[in-house]
């Protein structure tokens, strides 16, 4: 007799779980013995080590005893056994079909064999479960329990697709489609994020509909029950109540469901009402708010904790709560589990409505309905998602209101009585100040404003959806004085901030800000769309001088404002406190309290008000000083900058000063940037998750290939612990042996290192002997050791895995072709790891509830080019390196929308042709075609000869060419003379960047003499370029700056430096800055023109991103042709007068950023 055991084993937190199984005894025929449910939950080691077969009718299941920490029990290592009898039965047809054989364990050979094909899991099962290969079937006893529950009429059970569709139909029809439904989600793992797997859901929306329990485990999971609810959850028109908003949303996202249409979660609403609770669990909230509830919830520990079995028939004193999926699979606990989970949904529903009623009784409803997004966190208003797409996310992640202390009110009164600062902390006082601001003379004056926020660290996250305003300050000279406006706690409840909404949104009242982007975002989170920008002092300061080390308010104040009272002291020097150790004594570490703590603490309140109001005063004084300085600076540019018709009425005189340039170009551009940041770029997180799965799979395969080769070539199995990320280990592996030289240590041929490894749950140091391959050193690090960077490894191995014409480097002599291919796989691992770490994984966590990314976009480069943070969308991988198409994830969220991706072609070279007046370059651009091929033809006589003899063509012949048929068979220059064209292309851009012969020699791996000869040939046909470069160097030394075509300046601090290296670097920058800066001018003016175009606005098109020379818009698919025409015309004509060369724009309409490239 050959006995086999068919098993189904899953693993949870490193522990094997035995859920159900069937036994097969093989004679001449086959008999099957089925076990519907083996109620043995945990084993400390593999299930295979704990199974013995006595005969065909019984199984011995071994389990470890519950061993205490006493010395006596530690010595008891022999496990006790529990014998389970099996009944020989014939399975029903349905049971036969549901029992899936994952594998068989041969009792005699002790080997595991696979039988049959594992049925693929449905789309809604997380990736971790797909990989595990576990498959469980719902037992007949469980189905019987469910039928009994449903027959009782209290709870509706949904465990098939048909039942799921019935419920969805019910939820999406009248009257349920217009009411809020409470949902509760139970997951298999308690880790929020990627690991949480949903095993059941519960729903409740009133007594008339009862409780609904939806199974998404085992048979229901394989049947795709959860997937039937996908469209319902993703439709924002159906309102859903979730108690654990962040966790539940993450769990649903793991199953490919992006839940929308959420009401404020009950947890946050309860915290808003009362901060003093010790616990905000459902049981605690029920006790506080639902004392009259018909049913009370008991904790899972109270309901389902079980005594651990130690020996047959005996129980230990230890109580343990089984895993949630175990409770659901065990028919003995199933009824209790269903009651527990559905009662959670019912109590969430009752709790939500009770909290809303309490808020209304506190007379907050009127305030919140008016404030809209500002008080959405109080949970009383249903605001259309389209109005403020970020607000729902913003309010869920902020602090809660408290009561302002009597001591704080006393301090405020004392400050106001002193007459220096006006305190506004009630709605009545706010209305008085608004009346002043909107009346003569203040209504005609620019007022400086500053906000203080909580909940946002700008260096880590964007302000949109995170920053919450806790106070504002205003200053407008003696006409207004300093004003401090409280928007926290009592003032928030009184609606103080809302009283300023109309003022802030009126473009006729001018406001001055320092870092307008952040302040506008913070106020947007409260439903206020700030208009009427008078100035952003950061942008003014950058226009005045691009060479400053810092543009913070503190630094600019010290440098520009000569006012002792307005000198700013940073928060660290003002508010830092010594932290306390565990013993209660002061430590040496000083930390600054949170902003809301400083405002709530009456001991720091006075200093805090002084600090925040001083920011507004300093911003006002800084604006006055910068305005005066910019007005004194004459505008010098290559293009006559008259204000375009969208900036000022026609008939105005040309701009004369830098301040005119700021008002005409920089100010509207600054406002456009904040609008673009607020709109954000659509992102598909599911596409990124798919990319991550594929990338991790590729990474694992490549790593296995590398380690297999390494273990095989070294004959050392411990090389599996080798760390390819360690520079020291890679140096030893590739370059040892290496002799020591001077103070630089050498490398022994063999080096033994010890690597920490986890073995049987314990950390041990594993020895690894690394024997070097002795590859030649190509480049050294700063410490004199051989470099093992990716570029060096590429140089050593060549391109061995290239499909066409693979090449091998010098390393092939030492490690062979297989070694070169393995190291090539290592480089691919590095590239994939970089894509995962830098792009694919971070982007999944940076989108909001509407799946839009709000990158922080700033003008903080010396050339005027934009930078992007959180995430850096300016730094997406090059197309040739983007093996997973990351840009495909950037797409409109609505199928009715599409993208316009418009990119300037060879913009910097066209700018160089214009500002230098180079006839050769202008002619080449007028003729069109491949500019770099034309450059190669002018530089190399043999290339010119081939073109003249029609041996090669500069570009493909056009359709109307009379000699089209003959020219079709003539190759292109770039295909025949690829090396010459690449060198010409490098040279074209190197000239623009101010590179010298030495730099070109390094790029081309040639001699300086040859590089000089090539430069001479290039300049021979383009003498105007060399003349212009000399003029720029002279201007840099004489004036201390160079200018762009519109007159922006780049200051050169080291143009006359005694240090030759700094002076040469300054000369290169003086050539590069006007080109890059002028390219930025062109893009900047195009963006201002696009955003000001009224027809584009009416059509519904909005800019969502600008990257280098590329502008991306999103809008309705129905108007894409007309929008494309408008965008193309504006981008080709961005300046008041045309350049000497045409600006070419490559414009595409696409459904993703990737498709638009």
Domain enclosing residue 109, as ranges? 2-118
Whether residues 113 and 147 share a domain: the answer is no
Asked whether the beta carbons of 452 and 612 are under 8 A apart, the reply is yes
Per DSSP, helices labelled H in 954-1059 are 964-967, 973-976, 978-992, 997-1004, 1008-1021, 1023-1039
Per DSSP, helices labelled H in 255-397 are 266-273, 282-289, 300-304, 324-329, 331-361, 365-371, 391-395
d(CA 473, CA 425): 12
HSE on the CB side for 1044, CA within 13 Å?
A: 27
Domain boundary among 827, 844, 861: 844
d(CA 123, CA 132): 15
Whether residues 538 and 627 share a domain: the answer is yes
Whether residues 113 and 144 share a domain: the answer is no
SS3 content of the chain, % helix, strand, coil (to 5): 45, 20, 35
Whether residues 832 and 957 share a domain: the answer is no
Whether residues 111 and 171 share a domain: the answer is no
State the Cα angle at 297 between 292 and 303, rounded to 5°: 150
Whether residues 227 and 323 share a domain: the answer is yes
d(CA 300, CA 1088): 59
What does residue 1049 show for φ and ψ, rounded to 5 degrees? -115, 145
Q: What total number of domains does the chain contain? A: 5
Whether residues 721 and 830 share a domain: the answer is yes
Q: Which helix (H) or strand (E) element contains residue 1121?
A: helix 1120-1132
Domain assignment present for 594: yes
Q: Quote the tokens at residue 1107.
A: 């990257």
Nearest residue to 173 via CA among 260, 232, 236: 232
Domain boundary among 87, 118, 149: 118
DSSP 8-class letter at 476: B
Whether residues 101 and 151 share a domain: the answer is no
Specify the pLDDT at position 654: 60
Q: Quote the tokens at residue 801.
A: 């895995």
Whether residues 17 and 88 share a domain: the answer is yes
Specify the pLDDT at position 300: 54
Domain assignment present for 109: yes
Residues 154-176: pLDDT tens digits?
899 999 999 999 999 988 887 78
Specify the pLDDT at position 374: 33
Nearest residue to 796 via CA among 822, 834, 831: 822
Reported pTM = 0.66
Domain boundary among 1021, 1036, 1063: 1021
CATH number reported for the structural domain that contains residue 161 in this entry: 3.30.420.10
Asked whether the beta carbons of 1070 and 853 are under 8 A apart, the reply is no
Residues 621-639: pLDDT tens digits?
999 999 999 999 988 876 6
d(CA 817, CA 815): 7
Specify the pLDDT at position 914: 93
Domain assignment present for 1156: no
Per DSSP, helices labelled H in 315-363 are 324-329, 331-361
Q: Quote the tokens at residue 94.
A: 């349905």
Whether residues 108 and 235 share a domain: the answer is no
Domain assignment present for 652: no
Specify the pLDDT at position 120: 32
d(CA 530, CA 497): 13
d(CA 912, CA 1045): 11
Task: Report, as ranges of residue numbers, the positions in the chain whose pLDDT lies below 50.
Answer: 1-133, 190-194, 294, 306-313, 363-399, 643-653
What does residue 1104 show for φ and ψ, rounded to 5 degrees? -120, -15
Domain assignment present for 825: yes
Whether residues 111 and 151 share a domain: the answer is no
Whether residues 13 and 148 share a domain: the answer is no
d(CA 517, CA 866): 13
């Amino acid at each position: 007799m050959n006995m086999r055991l068919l098993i189904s084993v899953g693993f949870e937190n490193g522990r094997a779980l035995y859920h159900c199984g069937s036994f097969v005894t093989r004679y001449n025929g086959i008999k099957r013995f089925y076990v519907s449910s083996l109620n043995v939950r945990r084993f400390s080691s593999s299930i295979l080590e704990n199974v013995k077969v006595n005969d065909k009718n019984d199984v011995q299941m071994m389990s470890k005893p519950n061993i205490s920490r006493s010395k006596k029990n530690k010595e008891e290592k022999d496990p006790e056994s529990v014998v389970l009898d099996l009944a020989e039965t014939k399975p029903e047809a349905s049971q036969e079909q549901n029992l899936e054989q994952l594998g068989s364990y041969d009792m005699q050979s002790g080997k595991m064999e696979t039988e049959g094909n594992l049925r693929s899991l449905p789309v809604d099962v997380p990736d971790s479960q797909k990989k595990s290969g576990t498959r469980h079937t719902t037992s007949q006893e469980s189905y019987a329990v469910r039928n009994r529950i449903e027959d009782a009429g209290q709870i509706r059970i949904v465990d098939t697709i048909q039942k799921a569709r019935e419920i969805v139909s019910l939820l999406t029809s009248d009257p349920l489609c217009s009411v809020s439904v409470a949902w509760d989600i139970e997951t298999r793992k308690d880790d929020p994020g990627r690991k949480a797997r949903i095993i059941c859901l519960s729903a409740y929306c009133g007594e008339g509909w009862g409780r609904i329990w939806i199974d998404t485990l085992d048979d229901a999971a394989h049947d795709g029950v959860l997937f039937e609810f996908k469209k319902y959850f993703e439709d924002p028109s159906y309102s859903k109540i979730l108690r654990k908003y962040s966790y539940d949303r993450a769990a649903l996202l793991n199953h490919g469901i992006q839940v929308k249409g959420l009401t404020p979660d009950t947890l946050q609403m309860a915290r808003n009402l009362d901060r003093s609770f010790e616990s905000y669990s459902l049981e605690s909230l029920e006790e506080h708010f639902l004392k009259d509830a018909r049913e009370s919830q008991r904790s899972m520990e109270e309901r389902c904790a079980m005594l651990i079995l130690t020996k047959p028939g005996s129980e230990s004193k230890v109580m343990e709560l089984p895993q949630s999926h175990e409770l659901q699979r065990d028919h003995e606990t199933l009824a209790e589990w269903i009651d527990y989970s559905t009662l959670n949904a019912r109590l969430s529903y009752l709790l939500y409505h009770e909290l809303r009623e309490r808020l209304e009784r506190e007379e907050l409803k009127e305030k919140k309905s008016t404030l809209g997004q500002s008080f959405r966190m109080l949970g009383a208003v249903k605001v259309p998602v389209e109005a403020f797409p970020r607000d729902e996310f913003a309010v869920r992640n902020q602090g809660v209101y408290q009561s302002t202390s009597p001591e704080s009110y006393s301090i405020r009164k004392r400050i106001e009585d002193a007459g220096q600062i006006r305190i506004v902390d009630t709605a009545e006082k706010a209305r008085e100040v608004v009346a002043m601001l909107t009346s003569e003379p203040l209504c005609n004056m620019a007022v400086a404003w500053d906000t203080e926020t909580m909940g946002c660290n700008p260096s880590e996250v964007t302000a949109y959806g995170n920053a919450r305003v806790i106070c504002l300050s205003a200053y407008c000279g003696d006409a207004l004085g300093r004003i401090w406006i409280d928007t926290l706690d009592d003032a928030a409840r009184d609606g103080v901030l809302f009283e300023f909404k109309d003022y802030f949104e009126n473009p006729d009242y001018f406001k001055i800000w320092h870092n307008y982007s952040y302040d506008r975002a913070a106020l947007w989170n409260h439903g206020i769309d700030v208009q009427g920008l008078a100035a952003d002092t950061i942008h003014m300061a950058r226009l005045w001088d691009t060479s400053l080390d810092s543009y913070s308010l503190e630094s600019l104040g010290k440098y520009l404002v000569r006012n002792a009272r307005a000198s700013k002291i940073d928060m660290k020097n003002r508010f830092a406190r010594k932290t306390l150790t565990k013993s209660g004594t002061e430590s040496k570490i000083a930390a600054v309290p949170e902003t809301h703590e400083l405002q709530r603490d009456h001991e720091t309140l006075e200093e805090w008000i002084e600090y925040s109001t001083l920011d507004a005063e300093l911003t006002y004084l800084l604006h006055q000083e910068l305005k005066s300085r910019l007005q004194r600076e004459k505008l010098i540019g290559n293009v006559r900058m008259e204000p375009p018709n969208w900036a000022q009425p026609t008939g105005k005189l040309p701009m004369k000063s830098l301040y005119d340039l700021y008002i005409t170009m920089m100010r509207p551009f600054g406002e456009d940037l904040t609008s673009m940041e607020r709109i954000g770029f659509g992102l598909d997180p599911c596409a990124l998750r798919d990319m991550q799965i594929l990338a991790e799979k590729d990474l694992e395969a490549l790593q296995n290939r590398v380690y297999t080769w390494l273990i095989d070539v070294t004959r050392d199995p411990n090389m599996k612990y080798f760390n390819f990320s360690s520079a020291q280990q890679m140096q030893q592996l590739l370059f040892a042996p290496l002799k020591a030289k001077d103070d630089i240590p050498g490398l022994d041929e063999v080096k033994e290192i010890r690597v920490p490894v986890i073995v049987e749950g314990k950390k041990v140091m594993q020895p690894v002997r690394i024997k070097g391959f002795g590859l030649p050193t190509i480049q050294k690090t700063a410490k004199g050791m051989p470099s093992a960077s990716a570029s060096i490894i590429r140089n050593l191995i060549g391109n061995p895995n290239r499909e066409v014409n693979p090449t091998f480097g010098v390393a092939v002599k030492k490690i062979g072709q297989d070694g070169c291919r393995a190291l090539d796989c290592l480089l691919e691992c590095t590239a994939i790891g970089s894509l995962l770490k830098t792009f694919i994984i971070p982007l999944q966590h940076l989108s909001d509830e509407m799946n839009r990314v709000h990158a922080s976009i700033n003008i903080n480069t010396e050339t005027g080019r934009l930078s992007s943070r959180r995430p850096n969308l300016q730094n997406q991988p090059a197309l040739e390196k983007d093996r997973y198409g990351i840009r495909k994830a950037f797409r409109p969220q609505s199928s009715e929308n599409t993208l316009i991706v418009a990119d300037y072609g060879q913009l910097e070279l066209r700018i160089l042709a214009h500002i230098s007046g180079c006839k050769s370059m202008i002619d080449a651009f007028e003729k069109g075609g491949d500019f770099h091929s034309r450059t190669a033809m002018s530089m190399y006589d043999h290339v010119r000869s081939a073109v003249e003899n029609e041996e090669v063509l500069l570009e493909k012949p056009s359709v109307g060419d009379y000699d089209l048929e003959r020219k079709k068979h003539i190759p292109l220059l770039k295909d025949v003379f690829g090396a010459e064209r690449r060198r010409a292309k490098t040279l074209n851009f190197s000239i623009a960047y101010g590179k010298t012969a030495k730099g070109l020699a390094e790029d081309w791996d040639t001699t300086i003499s040859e590089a000089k000869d090539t430069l001479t040939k290039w300049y021979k046909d383009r003498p105007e370029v060399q003349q212009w470069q000399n003029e720029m160097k002279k201007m840099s030394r004489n004036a201390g700056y160079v200018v762009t075509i519109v007159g922006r300046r780049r200051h050169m601090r080291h143009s006359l430096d005694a240090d030759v290296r700094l002076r040469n670097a300054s000369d290169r920058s003086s050539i590069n800055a006007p080109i890059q800066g002028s390219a930025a001018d062109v893009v900047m003016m195009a963006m201002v023109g696009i955003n000001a175009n009224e027809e584009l606005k009416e059509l519904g098109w909005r800019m969502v991103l600008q990257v280098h020379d590329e502008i991306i818009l999103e809008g309705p698919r129905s108007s894409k042709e007309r929008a494309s025409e408008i965008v193309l015309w504006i981008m080709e004509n961005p300046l008041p007068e045309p350049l000497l060369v045409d600006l070419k724009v490559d414009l595409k309409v696409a459904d993703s950023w990737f498709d638009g490239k």
